[in-house]
A and B are shown apart, each in its own frame.
Chain A
Amino acid sequence: MIGRVELAIVALVLIGIIVSSGAMYYASVTLGNVSTLKDQLTDLQNSLQSTLTGLETTLTVGTTDSVELTLDPAQAYDYFGWNIIQQIGETLVSVQPGSATGADFVGNLATGWNSSSDLKTWDFTLRSGVLFPDGTEFNATHVKYSFDRAIELIPQIPEGAPAGLGYGDIFDHTDVISKYTVRFVLKIPFSPLLGILSARSSTIVDPKYAPRNVQVNYTAGDARASTPVAFVGPYKLSEWIRVGGRDQEIKLDANPKYWNLAAGYPRIKHIIFKFYSDAAGLRLAISAGDVDMAFRHISPVDVLDLQTNPNVKVWFGTGAQIQYLCFQTKRAPFNDPRVRMAVAAALNRTDVTERVFLGLANPLYSIVPPGMLGHTEAFAKLGEANYTLTRSLLAQLGYNQGNPLKFDLWYESSGHYPQSEQQALLYKQALEASGVIAVTLKHADWASYKLNRDNEIMDAYVYGWYPDYVDPDDYAFLYWASWLHTNYANATQVAYYDQARATTNSTLRTELYGKIDGMAVEQCSVVPLWVSGAWAVTKPGVYSIFLDITQDMRYWLISK
């Protein structure tokens, strides 16, 4: 028989079970809430983190480019050198990211500007409160020093960018008007000055690291001593390793004194550049995830293939690199503009852009690329593979099927220009399809090609151009450029060109460049062929890639 004691024990056990169950339930609920709260806090933290735009992240960029020689704005004249300078330094103005025309300027170290009516005197109001890493405040004396130095070094560095952009012919002198006002006095009226000032050769230098009379070269183990650029840009150069004259690694770290920090830039704190030998190696690296981003150069066929890869994202944008065909006009057969026009009419640009570049380049009918002021479709007037025109022009000179026009078409064969041989084969095919032209293809590596150009031994040759600054002023002169050695000159075109430089009236400038193009079609000294596209490949979590007409890659805008 169960006694009271036993009942009491059973009751206590049952109560104990109930209470402990309740306690455990309560604990689990409470802990669950805590866990949920913890999750919520974590989510909030992540959200804040992304809102703070990933300041702690690193972006690894793969490229086949390399700094050619220095990061000195008085010397550097290569794409990659300029790209690095742009990340670590600043110019007075720059082109608005995403600009379609390249003419939308925004102030960087300048907040405002105006010019005299004759466009020979330009005043810039400078941004106050911009600090160098040592706390020195940027002011007008730094601008004067930078430009005076760049111009003074031209005789010593004739192959540098200031020489190439004609600083010696454009700038007369620079004056400090006040602490935050600088004046440029020019030798000529020059409406594209903002374009020149946005070029990397106009980057402000730090006098402490920029000796007046000598270029600053790479110094192994000392990134600061390897460039005279003032570190007032979004990043500072933390590491630069070169092996065998080529870059092996470049590291940029966020500049804690960057003047635009309040806007949230740079979005990524560290950029590491990794250098690959060729496009195939770079493609493999981005496919394998070895780098977060691949920019310059991946071949068109790889780019299109990567579009189907779910592990990467392909970004497309506007290009401004062009190629054109030059004729040696000092001797037969191309001393006659009818012959040049006949060849130009027989070209099939679309065939090349579709079959060689797989649609990632576009036919070009003006020396000024699309989007820019002054672009026309002038050469479209001649048509594509317009053999009727070709035959009729050549017939006037006695050329026919039995007596075809014969000439050598040269192309560069060491990879300086993309897929040159494939292009040349298609040009030959198109020209010979007319039935009245016979083309012999010849090629040379870049060194020999330039020598041949200078020695004027090539009948017709393909050449390329990428912009120093985004303005038709940097393109239109190609029709008669003396260094192309085409021996073509046209005083009327030059006069139009100078007039376009001397006015800011965009309607008038457009008209003048249109006239230049119109005359170019009649003369065909240089025939535009195609304009490139631009592309970059990233991992899916990378955002804000701007590929605009400037060809600049602004790493400080990128987020991850």
Chain B
Amino acid sequence: MGLRSYVITRIILTIPTLLLLLTAVFLVMRVLPGDPAALHFEKKGDPADVERLRQILGMDKPLWQQYINYIGGLVDIGYLRQHGYPNLGKSMYQTSEEVGGQVFSAFPATLELAIYATIIASVLGIMLGVASSKSYGKTPDHLIRNFGTITYAIPVFFLGLIFQLIFGVYLGWLPTGQRISNVAPPTTITGLYTIDSILQGNIIAFVESVRALLLPSLTLGIVLSGVFLRLTRANMLETLRLEFVTAARARGLQESTVTYGYALRNAFLPVLTMMGLQFAMLLGGAVLTETTFSWPGLGKYMVDRINFRDYTAIQGAVVMFGLFVTLVSLTVDVLCAYLDPRIRL
């Protein structure tokens, strides 16, 4: 199967996958106890008023009809063209707000954190993994492996708290939370503050957004680096024993060339797959990190919506998350096929 056919097939297969996911979430949400309409009435709720609100929210209709209406909204191309995002319905908790608008307003924060956290995790994990494999059995190897175990085991919110205390409170170098401090956010172009501030030439906003991003991305990156570290180390150890590496050394190539140009290139594919998986997971929102650093992303959004019994918001967020995971997974597969000619799609 050629690459183009493979990509098209995967995209087509995304539709039933998302449909299954959506159906499961739709049913699970409605099994949970709690009435979204009643939640609007903080104190007093006349039964007639609650019932009227249920009608406004469409909850008076049979389940199958609610499901069909929702699917119909999702495939509304006109809405997609007008708003730039699919019709995910109106929030059942904040009934005047579109779920699509809410999800896509929170997504850039999650994307930005995911990008930088993945970069840090990858660079740190791969570099340490290589170093560990090169000093196999020696003290550096033991130290690095222990570092990997500790970072993997440490709760992310605990590490985040430590960083906030040291760098935020005691040293006062970095803000303890929020996406940006001291200055107004840059005008939205991509929604990623670091990119938008560069595009607008706003150096101050760029510096402040980087300062705000440092602690949460470092926290998440360090915790995730343990996975990359161990995977890289294992693959490198295997690859470094192969004959082609010995041959490369025998031909007099520099050790760094042998390590990074030959061994790591071959050991990298599983790491690339893991990077894709981790990145896709992060796109669903790193709830604990977002809560610790008051980062306004999708993770916190979804947790809040569950508490509010905001069925449409949860459905919408899950659908978009499924789409992101599918796209990332497809991208990783294509990249792997591109990098390794032995892989046939």
Where the two chains meet, the residues of A that have a C-beta atom closer than 8 Å to any C-beta of B are: 68-70, 77-78, 158-159, 163-164, 215, 217-218, 220, 239, 241-246, 248-249, 274-278, 280-281, 284-285, 287-290, 414, 444-448, 450-452, 454, 465, 481, 483
Contacts and interface: CB of A to CB of B under 8 A. Distances in A.
Contacts of A249: 185
A281 B43 contact: no
Contact of B105 (A242, A281, A285, A481): A242
Contacts of A481: 44
A289 B300 contact: no
Contacts of B105: 220, 242-244
B33 A281 contact: no
A158 B293 CA distance: 36
B185 A445 contact: no
B109 to A, nearest CB: 7
A317 B6 CA distance: 67
Interface stretch (B114-122, B148-156, B276-284, B303-311): B303-311
A496 B25 CA distance: 51
Nearest to B104: A244
Contact of B35 (A78, A159, A241, A451): A451
Nearest to A154: B49
Interface residues of B, number: 60
A113 to B, nearest CB: 28
A452 B94 CA distance: 23
B296 A281 contact: no
A241 B109 CA distance: 14
Given A288-B175, A290-B181, A450-B39, 5 more contacts: A218-B96, A239-B184, A280-B292, A284-B169, A288-B172
B30 interface: no
A281 B298 contact: no
A242 to B, nearest CB: 7
A275 B178 CA distance: 8
B243 interface: no
Contacts of B109: 243
Nearest to B171: A288
Interface of B: 32-36, 38-46, 49, 52-53, 91, 93-97, 101-103, 105-106, 109, 161, 164-165, 168-169, 172, 175-179, 181, 184-185, 290-298, 300-301, 304-305, 307-309, 313
Contact of A414 (B94, B97, B307): B307
B164 A284 contact: yes
Nearest to B107: A244
Contacts of B176: 281, 284-285, 287-288, 290
Given A284-B169, A450-B38, A244 B44 contact: no
Contact of A483 (B45, B169, B178): B45
B96 A70 contact: yes
B296 A280 contact: no
Contacts of A444: 33
Given A164-B43, A284-B164, A451 B38 contact: yes
B169 A288 contact: yes
A500 to B, nearest CB: 20
A217 B102 CA distance: 14
Given A158-B46, A159-B41, A290 B168 contact: yes
Given A243-B105, A284-B176, A451-B34, A159 B45 contact: yes
Given A163-B49, A289-B172, A445 B34 contact: yes
A285 B169 CA distance: 8
Given A158-B53, A277-B291, A450 B177 contact: no
A243 B106 contact: yes
A275 B180 CA distance: 12
Nearest to A160: B40
- Which are the 7 A-B pairs with shortest beta-carbon distances? A447-B34, A244-B106, A158-B49, A217-B96, A244-B301, A159-B40, A243-B296
A274 B45 CA distance: 32
A245 B296 CA distance: 10
Given A164-B43, A275-B294, A245 B97 contact: yes
A245 B307 contact: no
B300 A244 contact: yes
B93 A276 contact: no
A245 B94 contact: yes
Contacts of B41: 158-159, 164, 483
A243 B178 CA distance: 12
Contacts of B293: 277, 281
A275 B300 CA distance: 13
A284 B304 contact: no
Contacts of B298: 244
B300 A277 contact: yes
B103 A483 contact: no
